[in-house]
Amino acid sequence: MANVSVIGSGPAGCILAYALLGDGHDVTVYSDRTPAQWLNDSKPTGSNYLWASSIDIERELGMDHWSTNMMGGYGVLMDRSRFVGDPNPQVIQGLTEYGRRGCGIDMRMRVSRWLSDLESRGGRLVLETVTPARADRIAFDSDVTVLAAGKADLGRLIPRNEERSVFTKPQRHLAMGVVRSKSGRHVSEWFADRGEFLPQKFNFYADAGEFFWGPWMHKTAGDTFAWLLEARPGGVFDRFGDAQDGMEATEIFKEISREFAPWERHFIDDVEYVEEDPNGWLAGRFVPGVRRAFGRLPSGGLIMPVGDTAITFDPICGQGGNFANRSGKFLAEQITLNAGKSFDEEWMIKVNDLIWSFYGRNQCEYNNIFLQPLERAAQIVMESALHSSSAADELYYGLPHPESIVPALKDERAARAFAERHGVSGLVAAAG
């Protein structure tokens, strides 16, 4: 079995570590935070919505301690506006994974528990802020060294893959916060007038950006929602640059919602930030991108990426947390298959290409389609979903399984076949 060092203790690193431990490897996780610091002093890295198939990975590894009690969402309700102020937004409602529940489960709670349990599972936890020089030494002493440092600066040890990276600047300015009902109502009631199931709520504005409401399990407040706003730089939603705390950011978000989503005014005054959690919000921006298969350290050792360090996703289509789980589990499987052999650069390139082929390419393409003005193929798919509930279900099945829908979103012939399959070719042709 292999001696594996995991630098970074976020979800991807923990999934990788637990999967490797299950296969009998010698695993050390290096974390810059204690379990208590993760729980009490850290910010979430985003809305952390997990599709049911991603929760399945945690359950399979004995890491799921929350899904039986989560509120969860069964589908997506999208109000899609052609422009800010559109009086007739398109409404596209459908199930995700045909009705399986997903949820945003507070990653701080997840990681804290996983690190607390790591040694009882046979792993070692080293509390240390790893520097590039220290990473070099760790790689020298390990069979495999994996960097799972998210968007941290340590990721620069691994070069960016320019061929696979489409963007060179942030595509959205982001803000996020965790909220609950001010009146004591259950938050699931906020969208009860819009359908029979609790959704993830999407608001798309072609010329301004997007904002989302996702069912969330907060570490102390329980059933809540996380709002996430994606502002096109310089647009009418780009208002969060001076926000000082979660309460202020949430009030800005509520102003935007009142002004541009009148269909949500009936509950917006009931929304309040979870004020006992000063860290439960974010505002910022980053460049989406893909890194190469490995970085070479001064001593000649190699370090390979996983999760957000391998691919940094804009959160528009909820791919980041789900890629973390999938890539962590897949990499563990590949390490086990290669046990007793050389973990050299040829192996790392092969594994990186497999992850890209199975997961990364389609997840990136799905995200990139919706970060830019929609091409005709994607318009046909969206029009089909507007007129057919089965088409909407298939569209939203693509959120956790992008490989199933990306061909239709990219290729006009495949898009027209999608419309025909769902019996709406005539309606789509008339709309086009």
Domain enclosing residue 385, as ranges: 374-431
322, 260: one domain? no
What tokens were used for 105? 């489960």
Residue 45's nearest CA partner among 307, 346, 412, 411 is 307
Report pLDDT for 113. Answer: 98
- Neighbouring-strand partners of residue 126: 30
* Helix, strand, coil percentages for the chain (3-state, nearest 5): 45, 20, 35
183, 89: one domain? yes
| Number of domains within the chain | 3
Residue 60 forms part of a structural domain: no
Q: What is the CATH number of the domain that holds 242?
A: 3.30.9.40
364, 301: one domain? yes
195, 270: one domain? yes
Question: Which three-class secondary structure state does DSSP give residue 241?
Answer: coil
Question: Which three-class secondary structure state does DSSP give residue 99?
Answer: helix
Report pLDDT for 131. Answer: 94
Residue 296's nearest CA partner among 128, 131, 132, 153 is 132
Distances (CA, A) of 170 to 195, 246, 292: 34, 22, 20
- Amino acid identity of residue 294, one-letter, is F
Boundary of a domain, candidates 341, 369, 397: 369
> Pseudo-torsion of CA 144, 145, 151, 152, nearest 10°?
180
User: Is-contact 307 323, C-beta < 8 A?
Assistant: yes
Going by the DSSP 8-state scheme, the letter that residue 73 receives in this structure is B
Residue 53 forms part of a structural domain: no
90, 182: one domain? yes
Residue 192 forms part of a structural domain: yes
Residue 54 forms part of a structural domain: no
218, 357: one domain? no
Report pLDDT for 218. Answer: 97
Going by the DSSP 8-state scheme, the letter that residue 374 receives in this structure is P
Angle subtended at Cα 258 by Cα 256 and Cα 260, rounded to the nearest 5 degrees: 65
303, 333: one domain? yes
Measured distance CA(108)–CA(110) in Å, rounded: 5
Report pLDDT for 378. Answer: 97
302, 276: one domain? no
Boundary of a domain, candidates 284, 304, 331: 284
196, 237: one domain? yes
Report pLDDT for 45. Answer: 87
213, 272: one domain? yes
- Amino acid identity of residue 222, one-letter, is G
Angle subtended at Cα 351 by Cα 346 and Cα 355, rounded to the nearest 5 degrees: 150
The DSSP result for 197-209, as a single string, is: S-EEEEEEETTTE
Going by the DSSP 8-state scheme, the letter that residue 358 receives in this structure is I
Residue 51 forms part of a structural domain: no
Distances (CA, A) of 189 to 97, 195, 223: 23, 11, 12
Q: What is the CATH number of the domain that holds 299?
A: 3.50.50.60
Sheet holding 124-127, edge to edge: 124-127, 26-31, 3-7, 144-147, 302-305, 295-296
What is the block-wise mean pLDDT of the chain (432 residues), using blocks of 10 residues? Answer: 96 98 98 98 92 97 97 94 89 95 96 98 97 95 94 88 97 97 94 91 94 96 97 96 97 96 92 97 96 96 96 95 96 96 97 97 97 96 96 96 97 96 83 60
What tokens were used for 429? 């042709």
Residues contacting 57, CB < 8 A, separation 6+:
15, 325, 326, 329
154, 23: one domain? yes
277, 229: one domain? yes
Residue 315's nearest CA partner among 228, 206, 419, 422 is 228
The model's pTM is 0.96
User: Is-contact 355 310, C-beta < 8 A?
Assistant: yes
What tokens were used for 41? 């002093």
What tokens were used for 363? 């997840």
Alpha-carbon Rg of the chain, whole angstroms?
21
Pair type for strands 144-147 and 3-7:
parallel
Boundary of a domain, candidates 351, 369, 387: 369
Measured distance CA(17)–CA(316) in Å, rounded: 28
Residue 52 forms part of a structural domain: no
pLDDT in tens, 61-77: 999 999 999 999 999 99
**Cβ atoms within 10 Å, residue 134:** 14
**Taking the chain, what is the end-to-end CA distance rounded to the nearest angstrom?**
58
Residue 49 forms part of a structural domain: no
- Which residues of 274-314 form beta strands (DSSP E)? 281-284, 289-290, 295-296, 302-305, 311-312
Report pLDDT for 195. Answer: 86
Residue 358 forms part of a structural domain: yes
